[in-house]
Structure 1
Amino acid sequence: LAARADVGHRDKAGETALSHAALKGRTDLLGILAEARADVNWRNERNFTLLHEAAMRGAADVVRALLDARAEVDPRDQLKRTPLHRAAMKGKVESVRALL
């Protein structure tokens, strides 16, 4: 980042540094990248945001970190489901609590 790396760059799979950090539970890196203006509302091909992904996995710490970074709380995926819907469907209680 000190060398002005592009925080929004997508790899061949369409992932960004922020998406990799979030999906691996690296809230420390997530915070750094969000401060560098990485897109916390990044979406994949199914229109899932990182908040959807974290909520479905039960990664409540990542859910909280994304919300702290001002991620949109109620984005809708291609089926019009929010992260709260997805967390509840998967039985991820801590994610549900973090979203409420």
Structure 2
Amino acid sequence: MTPRGEAVESDNGWAWECDPSRLWVLGDMPTEQQLLVSAVMDGLVDLASLGIDPKDGSLHEDENPMRLRTYEDEHLLLWYQTVPHRRRVYLKRVNL
């Protein structure tokens, strides 16, 4: 099993990246929280590689698949964008 994280491609070539940069998106966030964000992003990449959005179902049926999306749980709120032709999920913003 390969280590996951920002810009590390999965077996099918998908990865996630901070946009515009890691410093801009994550800033001085503590390491523990950055690991949580990384784990969630790894999961979103896995879903995107299968053509699935966690809230809306299939990415293939979405009229605007590159729109800004959100993911939230009891620990964080993420804004991200899925770009299928680049095989990337771009992390835009994080609220803890």
Question: Same fold per TM (> 0.5)?
Answer: no
TM class by shorter-chain length? under 0.3
**Structure having the larger proportion of residues in strand:** 2
With the length of structure 1 as denominator, give the TM-score of the two structures. Answer: 0.26
Point out which structure has higher relative CO (alpha carbons under 8 A, 6+ apart): 2
With the length of structure 2 as denominator, give the TM-score of the two structures. Answer: 0.27
**Structure having the larger proportion of residues in helix:** 1
